[in-house]
């Protein structure tokens, strides 16, 4: 929703067709062994050369993630699998019922995925390609040279450049073996560490922590736990592994480690603190508070605990009473800080079945326009900070849908959240109600199973394009629009909000959304009654009806709202005339900034454009409350701004009323006061808010303070949205 869909861009269509052709050619080799496999030494040499080339910084980066053949993750217990070797692998094949034991022969390289060269016990080599690994971690920390791993039911395939690789799309399909794992062949084992004590392994882990390698530290602490030792040493190891797990985002495991430590010593200071931190990161603020209260009661001098106690109480207040400081949130976000430390507030809304539409979001009480309904923290979000030098693209060859931006990163984030914190699984995966059949099993051999392709489907249908700040985006866009169609292109930045993903579509929605960093703020766009279903727009109403329906087809439905119906009734010749007139309008305003500077723009100039706007109004066949004139919004605003610069308040008033009327608003005078009745979307965007502010300012300029105050009152209903 509002993501940067580039499915119609010729440059990317060529890439899609080329990939489909490669897949078709690869299918011819299915089930066959490669005619010639390169020796391990050649593969290693080529990979090291590639690493040397990558060491030279490149000004531009273009990453493409292809969603090609969809296949389920392995659900087989390890004991049920039988081994195979590299020379046994056949192309384009999922080797079900088998596993392959590998050791890395080179350091890893990061492209779209993590690439490294591996060998098997017989000395044969091949390329290993890991996808959807944790983007926060250095690839050297994930799979350094000499790592021993098992790939369950390996997928062997040809690559786009004609070589071969063992490809792992599901993070749960690869098992990284610890140094003491009995499945490691004797000749691959590190003999120096086989007899280390638990204390020695803990010290080894501590050294890794000091160097910032928390993956290595966690593995060392896990090895320490497999060694015989006393309770005092166990307490240290559990606390240390809890710390490493916190740093790795493995909050479920951190909580388990801390709770085991508390069983060994119920008042342990570190264990209480780490349990509270894990619960805080899992958004379980109330339970986090209970651990902190135990901690400060036992250790009142612990300043960090006191600070965390205050912070957690703030989150609980936000969660219950929506006590957000939106101004402070706005001041905090920038290109370096896009993740805010706040709680999710769910207001008078609930999720339940919507007739013929799956699940939807409904009101539980009456609300007024501008009321806060939801302030939700993203499950995963990635903001694109440099879309010119770094381009990321997701190409789905099955649906022919292509999205430019950070969607691939969001998919990877969620996959790793599910793998690292399986307690989140139900809340995230329950959003999907499509036809894709995922596996029923949720874990095997004590480890979670994650279906990467299910996550891709969830994100592709439920992610939102999102600016770092809606308020800043609006200010920047005002500077650039200059009379053009006020529809903004989709965002390269992307995020997934679990609760918000349940809103159904309407071309004219009854709620509005805005963003501050990784938070989505949803407010009522008009007065609404208890029991009403709440809707957001999946695609922009500024598009014509055919364009909207084409984009909505990705969600598998045809919209038949009043706007779509009215647009279908519009004769072809009127649509053609509207398009031609809009070109004239855009050309007219193209140099409006220079007009302001030179002082050459006059009221007579504007009379011409007002005439064109009147002609544009005539191209609509239905009343504005059924067919709002969204395409005229930006031209109207530009005329209003020019009138204001020319100090023509009465013209501002007339044009602002006309513009608001074109959106379905009614502004009437009742007993010397101004009354606004809502159209289909009262305060539905920052542009309508700006119109009300211009109108209020103009009334104030001519001395009508009553009307000014009435309009300011309406504007304040949406103050929260405007500030976001």
238, 189, 248: which is closest to 216 by C-alpha? 248
Consecutive H or E run containing 353: strand 349-354
Per-residue pLDDT for 124 more than 80?
Answer: yes
Mind listing the pLDDT tens digit for each residue in 317-346?
A: 999 999 999 999 998 988 778 899 999 999
Residue 262 has pLDDT above 70, yes or no: yes
Look at residue 27 and tell me whether its pLDDT is greater than 90: no
Are 534 and 361 in contact, with CB atoms under 8 Å apart?
Answer: yes
Lowest mean pLDDT among 145-149, 195-199, 351-355, 678-682: 678-682
pLDDT of amino acid 367: 95
> Hunting for tokens 């192309």 — which residue is that?
91
241-261 pLDDT, tens digit each? 999 999 999 999 999 999 999
Query: In 3D, which of 690, 691, 603, 608 has the Cα closest to residue 651?
Result: 603
One fold for both 225-282+284-321 and 571-619+628-722? yes
Could you tell me the pLDDT band of residue 239, with boundaries at 50, 70 and 90?
very high
Give helix 452-462 / helix 407-420 axis angle, nearest 10°: 130
Give the integer Cα–Cα distance in Å for 289 and 106: 46
* pLDDT number for residue 35: 86
CATH for 225-282+284-321 is 1.25.40.10
Higher pLDDT, 614 or 670: 614
Confidence of residue 221 (pLDDT cuts 50, 70, 90): very high
Categorize the per-residue pLDDT at 203 as very low, low, confident or very high, splitting at 50, 70 and 90. very high
Q: Is it the case that residue 66 has pLDDT exceeding 90?
A: no
Average pLDDT, integer, range 170-194: 96
Share of the chain above pLDDT 70, in %: 91
Query: 400-409, 413-422, 658-667: which has the highest mean pLDDT?
Result: 413-422
Report DSSP state, residue 131: -
Is residue 255 left, alpha or beta, with left meaning phi > 0 and alpha meaning psi from -120 to 50? alpha
Number of neighbouring beta carbons within 10 Å of residue 348: 17
Q: Under DSSP, is residue 435 helix (H, G, I), strand (E, B) or coil?
A: coil
Statement: residue 29 has pLDDT above 70: yes
Q: Lowest mean pLDDT of 99-103, 530-534, 620-624, name the range.
A: 620-624
Question: Which of 490, 482, 514, 491 is CA-nearest to residue 634?
Answer: 482
Q: What is the pLDDT of residue 377?
A: 97
pLDDT value of position 488: 47
Of the candidate CATH numbers 1.25.40.10, 3.40.50.2300, 1.10.3720.10, 3.30.70.1150, the domain formed by 571-619+628-722 belongs to 1.25.40.10
595 confidence band (pLDDT: 50, 70, 90): low
Contacts of 110 (CB under 8 A, 6+ apart): 139
Q: How far is CA 688 from CA 561, 644, 681, 698, in A?
A: 22, 16, 10, 15
Q: Of 104-113, 381-390, 546-555, which has the strongest mean pLDDT? A: 104-113
Provide mean pLDDT across the span 362-376: 94
Indicate the pLDDT class of residue 286, thresholds 50, 70 and 90.
Answer: very high
**78 vs 153: CA distance, rounded Å:** 10
Condensed to tens digits (0 to 9), the pLDDT of residues 554-594 reads: 888 889 888 898 888 899 999 899 989 988 888 877 765 56
Contact 432, 418 (CB under 8 A): no
**pLDDT reported for residue 476:** 58
Q: What's the pLDDT score for residue 720? A: 45
- At 44 the pLDDT is 96
Vertex 232: Cα angle to 227 and 238 (nearest 5): 65
What average pLDDT is seen over the chain?
88
Query: Is 353 a residue whose pLDDT tops 90?
Result: yes
- CA dist., res. 375 & res. 122, Å (int): 57
- Say what the pLDDT of residue 19 is: 86
| pLDDT > 60? residue 721 | no
User: Could you report the per-residue pLDDT of 150-166, keeping only the tens digit for each?
Assistant: 999 999 999 878 899 99
- What would the pLDDT profile of 517-563 be if each residue is shown by its tens digit? 999 999 998 889 999 999 999 988 888 888 889 888 888 888 988 88
Provide the 3-class DSSP secondary structure of residue 533: strand
Write the pLDDT tens digit of every residue in 475-496.
655 544 444 444 444 578 899 9
Residue 352 φ/ψ region, left for φ over 0, alpha for ψ in the -120 to 50 degree band, beta for the rest = beta
pLDDT digits (tens, 9 = 90+) for 295-325: 999 999 999 999 999 999 999 999 999 999 9
pLDDT at 594: 60
Unique residue bearing structure tokens 């489907």? 457
**What is the structure's pLDDT at 714?**
64
Domain ranges of the chain: 225-282+284-321, 571-619+628-722
pLDDT, tens digit, 9 for 90 and up, residues 136-155: 999 999 999 999 999 999 99
Q: Which of 126-135, 288-297, 618-627 has the lowest mean pLDDT?
A: 618-627
pLDDT of residue 593: 56
Q: Per-residue DSSP letters for 463-514?
A: -EE--SBHHHHHHHHHHHHTTS-SPPPPBS-EEE-TTGGGPEE-SS-SEEEE
């Amino acid at each position: 929703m509002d993501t940067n869909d580039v499915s119609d861009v010729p440059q990317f269509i060529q890439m899609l067709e080329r990939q489909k052709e490669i897949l078709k050619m690869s299918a011819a080799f299915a089930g066959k062994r490669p005619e010639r496999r390169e020796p391990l030494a050649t593969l290693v040499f080529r990979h090291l050369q590639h690493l040397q080339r990558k060491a030279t910084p490149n000004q531009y980066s273009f990453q493409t993630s292809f969603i090609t053949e969809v296949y389920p993750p392995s659900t087989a217990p390890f004991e049920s699998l039988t081994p195979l070797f590299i020379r046994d692998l056949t192309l384009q094949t999922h080797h079900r019922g088998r596993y392959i034991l590998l050791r890395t022969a080179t350091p890893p390289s990061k492209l779209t995925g993590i690439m490294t060269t591996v060998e098997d016990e017989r000395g044969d080599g091949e390329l290993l390609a890991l996808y959807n690994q944790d983007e926060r971690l250095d690839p050297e920390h994930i799979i350094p040279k000499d790592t021993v791993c098992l790939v369950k039911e390996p997928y062997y395939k040809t690559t786009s450049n004609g070589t071969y690789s063992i490809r792992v799309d599901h993070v749960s399909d690869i098992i990284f073996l610890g140094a003491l794992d009995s499945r490691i062949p004797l000749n691959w084992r590190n003999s120096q560490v086989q007899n280390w004590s638990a204390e020695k392994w803990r010290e080894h882990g501590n050294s890794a922590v000091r160097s910032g390698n928390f993956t290595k530290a966690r593995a060392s602490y896990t090895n320490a736990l497999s060694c015989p030792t006393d309770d005092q040493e166990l307490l240290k190891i559990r606390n240390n592994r809890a710390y490493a797990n916190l740093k790795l985002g493995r909050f479920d495991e951190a909580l388990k480690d801390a709770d085991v430590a508390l069983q060994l010593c119920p008042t342990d200071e570190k264990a209480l603190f780490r349990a509270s931190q894990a619960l805080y990161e899992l958004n379980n603020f109330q339970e986090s508070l209970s651990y902190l209260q135990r901690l400060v009661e036992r250790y009142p001098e612990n300043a960090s605990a006191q600070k965390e106690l205050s912070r957690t109480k703030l989150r609980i207040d936000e969660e219950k009473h929506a006590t957000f400081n939106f101004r402070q949130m706005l001041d905090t976000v920038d290109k370096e800080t896009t993740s805010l430390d706040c709680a999710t507030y769910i207001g008078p809304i609930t999720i339940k079945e919507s007739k013929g539409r799956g699940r939807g979001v409904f009101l539980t009480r009456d609300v007024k326009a501008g009321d806060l309904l939801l302030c939700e923290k993203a499950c995963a979000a990635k903001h694109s900070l440099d879309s010119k030098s770094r381009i990321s693209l997701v190409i789905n060859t099955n649906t022919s849908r292509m999205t430019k931006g950070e969607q691939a990163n969001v998919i990877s984030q969620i996959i790793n959240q599910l793998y690292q914190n399986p307690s989140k699984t139900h809340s995230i995966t329950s959003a999907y109600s499509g036809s894709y059949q995922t596996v029923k099993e949720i874990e095997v051999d004590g480890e979670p199973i994650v279906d990467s392709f299910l996550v891709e489907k969830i994100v592709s249908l439920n992610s939102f394009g999102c600016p770092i700040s809606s308020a800043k985006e609006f200010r920047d866009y005002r500077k650039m629009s200059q009379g053009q169609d006020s529809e903004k292109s989709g965002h390269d930045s992307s995020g997934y909000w679990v609760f918000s993903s349940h809103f159904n579509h309407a071309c004219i929605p009854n709620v509005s959304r805005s963003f501050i960093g990784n938070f989505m703020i949803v407010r009522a766009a008009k007065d609404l009654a208890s029991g009403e279903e709440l809707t957001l727009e999946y695609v922009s109403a500024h598009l014509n009806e055919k364009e909207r329906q084409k984009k909505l087809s990705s969600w598998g439905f045809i919209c038949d709202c009043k706007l779509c119906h009215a647009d279908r009734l519009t004769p072809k010749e009127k649509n053609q005339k509207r398009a031609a007139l809009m070109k004239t309008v855009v050309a007219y305003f193209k140099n409006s900034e220079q007009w302001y500077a030179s002082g050459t723009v006059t009221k007579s100039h504007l009379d011409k454009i007002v005439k064109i706007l009147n002609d544009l109004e005539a191209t609509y066949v239905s009343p504005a409350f059924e067919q709002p004139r969204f395409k005229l919004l930006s031209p109207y605003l530009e005329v209003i701004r020019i009138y204001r610069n020319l100090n023509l308040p009465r013209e501002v008033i007339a044009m602002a009323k006309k513009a608001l009327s074109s959106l379905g608003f009614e502004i009437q005078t009742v007993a010397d006061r101004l009354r606004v009745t809502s159209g289909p979307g009262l305060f539905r965007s920052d542009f309508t808010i700006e119109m009300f502010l211009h109108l209020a300012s103009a009334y104030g300029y001519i001395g009508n303070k009553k009307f000014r105050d009435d309009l300011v009152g309406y504007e304040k209903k949406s103050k929260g949205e405007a500030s976001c």
